[in-house]
Chain A
Amino acid sequence: MTAISRPARRRSGPSTRWLTIGLFLLPALILYAVFVLLPVLQAMQYSLYKWNGLAPLTDFVGLQNYATALGSKTFMTSVGNNLLIVVLSLAIQIPFSLALAVLLNRRFRGRAIFRLLFFLPYVLSEAVTGIVFSLMLQPHSVVDSSLSNVGLGALVQDWLGDSTLVMVTLFVIISWKYFGFHMIIMLAGLQGIPRELEEAAYIDGASRRTAFRYITLPLLGPTIRVSIFLSIIGALQLFDMVWVMTGGGPVNASSTMAIAMFKAGFRSHQFGYGSALAVILFLCGLAVALLYQRYVLRRDTEGAVTAYGG
């Protein structure tokens, strides 16, 4: 680095820099515009029409599709189911993953094997998971006979056929598939916490629990918040596994927003209505993302900025 070159670069600085950034961003921007922005805008346009996906767009109905959606019992059940999965995920799945991560962060023999085993379900595709579990949950199949064999035959249920039970069954399977993913994220977070901090706390006489509560947990905050964010977005988009296992049934008991959208579009050929559902789903996701960024994740990024500044 010579003294002459630096001021020279400074002078042509801002404009050249923006040009470089622009050029490098251009391919990504074009892709983003064509494959993300344009379809979103198209869906918004379609959602204002009554359209079967085949004929030209002529039957403009304004916001009627949205009114139909908000007045539809099926769609409201679907929204409720998405929210149920969000709540259950936050209340059960995330704490469970955190506990496992803390456990697996200790040093003991076979730790790597356990980490691998718990992460394994995440590697399977949702469709494969769905098919395997629906076979296991069929009457008199693996799950039922296992229960009977250990004397718990009284617990046997119509796991996917019972309208009140079906969402719980699905939640258990979703958790089985995703807890390993959240566990790995939190493990990574835990390993970023310097051991000296905890050790210092122990020296000051803190118990294990106090050290976890006042040292580990706050420092793991950013990781947990990201995990929660991914969990909420995943729960809102829930589709593949439910579609494979129940198709949203029995009688819409396990329908989700994405399933209602798919059925309206690709089963009933109501692409206008389906697009309206897609836009609602998109807005839900967008609202969650923006609010979460604004109120929850901001302190993490602010922390990062001050850290750099100082």
Chain B
Amino acid sequence: MRSRARFAVLLTTAAIAFAACTGGSSTPAPTTAPASAGAPSSAAPSTAGGGAPVTVDWWHITTGEPGKTDFQKIADAYTTAHPNVTIKVTVLDNEAFKTKLSTTAAADYPDLFQSWGGGIMADQADAGLLKDITSDIASWKDTINPGAMSIYAYKGKQYGVPWDMGMIGFWYNKALFQQAGITAVPTTWDEYLAAVQKLRAAGIQPLAISGKDKWPSMHLWTYLVLRTGGGDSLSKMIQSGDWNTDACTKAGEEVVKLNALNPYQDGYKSADYNAEAAAVGNGKAAMELMGQWAPSVENDQSADKKGLGDKLGWFAFPTVGGGTGAATDGVGGGNGIAVGVNAPPEAIDFLKFFMSKENGDKLNTDNVGLSTVVGTEGTVKDPNLQAVLAGRGAATFMQLYLDQATSGALSQAFNDATIALFLGQSQPADVCQALTDAAKQ
């Protein structure tokens, strides 16, 4: 089963590579030298030609379009400028990637691969699976958003580079809000609960979550902890492993209040994330709490593949009454590329090319992510993503997704303990105790 899936991925990759090649060579006049065909060679580093043949093994999880094609084109552009370099691209589904990477021996580790930074990356670094690239990237590290860079640093060493960084917030259906008579987006938790009631009263499913995948609602709980206790308090809980705090309990109590309003979409207990996105994208549910990728997944999962279009809006997580957290504190994260321990210098050179302003702009305009390259902000045209970007820029505190900031039993416990709360099967204090227990393991 798995090998068949891998074969399918390989086939798809090959097909795309083939499509990219034929597409590139058919556009220019047939007399053009093949070396420059379709490649933005101006952006490619000047060390072209020469050198012994090198293969760079790159695993990424950008399976959706147009991102998958964009990635392949960037790789093709680089190899065209550097004929001695072959970039072996392996496109994997998120879950398949995690499983495959955890069964890969150090000697076979890919040179470049998807990473979210944080706890897992730290474990990989401790195990000697990553390359310290601090000095290799010193000349160009300032071209990248420093906050995002810090997620890929561990014990003062840089092990990877972020290419996408955003912030989680509420994505909502403006038409459904209007239909329910909600005139302004909620800025406080009380207003939010009132809006949920209005939506339900108007016969609309207010909020989509995923009982199967668990993490979407875990982020909601994280925000409640953050708004209640503030960033310092949350950092302290992570470091000390003691979650039996007022902020943790209070956040759980707010979830119980929310649960009481019957706020979730039909079938939420067994829905996976795709089903959640489909509920919003098809206009069935009014909101979801999600990262910057939400619109593209909603579009992809909607029946007409178009999603909500102009009807989609974004607002930051509201403040909680009596809480000490600021409205500008955020929960966020994104995608990056970590560098494997066996990576040749060409891999880091390709990474530099990948992180060029031109490629960052391209990923922005195609809505593949929110580029971390300084100066690419202008190419984000979508007003909602501009709002996310403004939130990222104004953030007074940024917490990486809890299940990625930590590792081991605790990282899984965030998802498992909070989903029980959202599904009404545990009490606020149980969550805090479960996390404290998991932190000790």
Q: A: which residues have CB within 8 A of B? A: 52-56, 68, 74, 125, 127, 134, 137-140, 158-163, 166, 240, 245-247, 249-252, 263, 265-270, 273
Contacts and interface: CB of A to CB of B under 8 A. Distances in A.
Given A161-B268, A240-B1, 9 more contacts: A68-B441, A162-B269, A246-B212, A249-B212, A250-B270, A250-B423, A251-B420, A251-B423, A268-B408
A147 B409 CA distance: 42
Interface in B251-272: 266-272
A175 B260 CA distance: 37
A265 B416 CA distance: 15
A247 B213 contact: yes
Nearest to A141: B267
A158 B270 contact: yes
A266 B408 CA distance: 10
B387 interface: no
Interface of B: 1, 98-99, 102, 120, 123-124, 126-127, 129, 211-214, 266-272, 275, 407-409, 411-412, 416, 419-420, 423, 425-426, 441
B269 A158 contact: yes
A138 B412 contact: no
Contact of B102 (A53, A68, A74, A250): A53
Q: Which 6 A-B pairs have the closest CB atoms?
A: A161-B269, A54-B127, A160-B270, A139-B267, A161-B270, A268-B412
Contacts of A159: 270
Contacts of A166: 270
Contacts of B425: 163, 250-251
A159 B266 CA distance: 12
Contacts of A55: 123, 126-127
Contacts of A56: 127
Nearest to B127: A54
B408 A52 contact: yes
Contacts of B411: 268-269
Contacts of A137: 270
Contacts of A249: 211-212, 214, 269-270, 419
Contacts of B212: 246-247, 249-250
Contacts of A268: 408-409, 411-412
A49 to B, nearest CB: 13
A139 B268 CA distance: 9
A53 B211 CA distance: 28
B407 A52 contact: yes
Nearest to A253: B425
A48 to B, nearest CB: 16
A240 B5 CA distance: 14
A74 B124 CA distance: 28
Contact of B407 (A125, A251, A269): A269
Contact of A54 (B123, B214, B426): B123
Contacts of B412: 263, 267-268
A233 B213 CA distance: 29
Which of B98, B129, B269, B426 counts the most chain A CB atoms within 10 A? B269
Given A139-B267, A158-B269, A270 B409 contact: yes
A166 B423 CA distance: 14
A64 to B, nearest CB: 10
Given A246-B212, A247-B213, A251-B425, A161 B267 contact: yes
10 contacts: A56-B127, A162-B269, A246-B270, A249-B214, A250-B270, A251-B416, A265-B102, A266-B102, A270-B408, A270-B409
A127 B268 CA distance: 21
B419 A269 contact: no
A196 B425 CA distance: 61
Nearest to A166: B270
Contacts of A252: 416
Nearest to B272: A247
Contacts of B102: 53, 265-266, 269
A246 B213 CA distance: 9
Contacts of B441: 68, 270
Given A139-B267, A246-B270, A54 B129 contact: yes
A70 to B, nearest CB: 15
Given A54-B123, A247-B213, A266 B99 contact: yes
Contacts of B271: 161
A252 B434 CA distance: 14
Contacts of B272: 247
A125 B1 contact: yes
A269 B123 contact: yes
Contacts of B407: 52, 269
A200 B21 CA distance: 77
Contacts of A140: 266
B66 to A, nearest CB: 26
A33 to B, nearest CB: 20
B231 to A, nearest CB: 26
Nearest to B275: A138
Contacts of A163: 425
Nearest to A162: B269
B123 A52 contact: yes
Contacts of A161: 211, 267-271
Contacts of A134: 270
